[in-house]
Amino acid sequence: MKFLIIGLGNIGKEYEQTRHNIGFDVVNALAIKHDASFLTDKHADVCEFGFKGKKIIVIKPNTYMNLSGKAVRHWMNEHKIELKNVLVVVDDLAIPFGKMRIRANGSDAGHNGLKNIQELLQTKEYPRLRIGIGNNFPKGRQIDFVLGKWSKEESSELITLLPKAVEAIESFVFQGLGPAMTQFNK
């Protein structure tokens, strides 16, 4: 059985260590844990590894956030992966920093990466792991906050948050969506 794990973010040094790239950070931690390395391929940086009898394909779209659906659609088709075996890892302003939620489906909530995935897959019915980045910004400064670097306090909390997000992905793959939601949506 194959699974496609997508970490959303923007490519380029200027976006590294920003809140909007938490999807990249999570899948990087997943790849490191499973001793996998990313290689650049069509529309994404890609790595593959086995986990408890499952084949995991992990991508970081290199199309920039707003065109993430192009990479998702390509890699789903390339490996003939069912929608239920796709998990998109994404930042979420509506969730407090340090918290996460696994969802079976949902709206794009104004997130351009999710919006593009929804448009190209023509459905909202795909699982996602939403990682809270909080919303501690003055009115009208959302873009600066999302594209801003982590504070020192946030950076130190990422040390425990990233492994927890990796465990949530592994639970989704090995145990399924329902058990993963029960375990990690606390």
Count of CB atoms within 10 A of residue 161's CB? 20
On whether the CB atoms of residues 116 and 76 are closer than 8 A, the answer is no
Our CA angle for 3, 8, 11, nearest 5°, is 125
In 3D space, the residue among 22, 160, 45 whose CA is nearest the CA of residue 36 turns out to be 45
20 assigned to active site: yes
In 3D space, the residue among 129, 125, 94 whose CA is nearest the CA of residue 109 turns out to be 94
Alpha helices by DSSP H, listed for the chain, are 22-33, 68-79, 112-121, 142-146, 152-174, 177-184
Distance CA 60, CA 45 (A): 5
Question: What amino acid is encoded at 180 in this protein?
Answer: A
Q: Which of 20, 43, 74, 111 is catalytic?
A: 20
By annotation, the residues acting in catalysis are 20
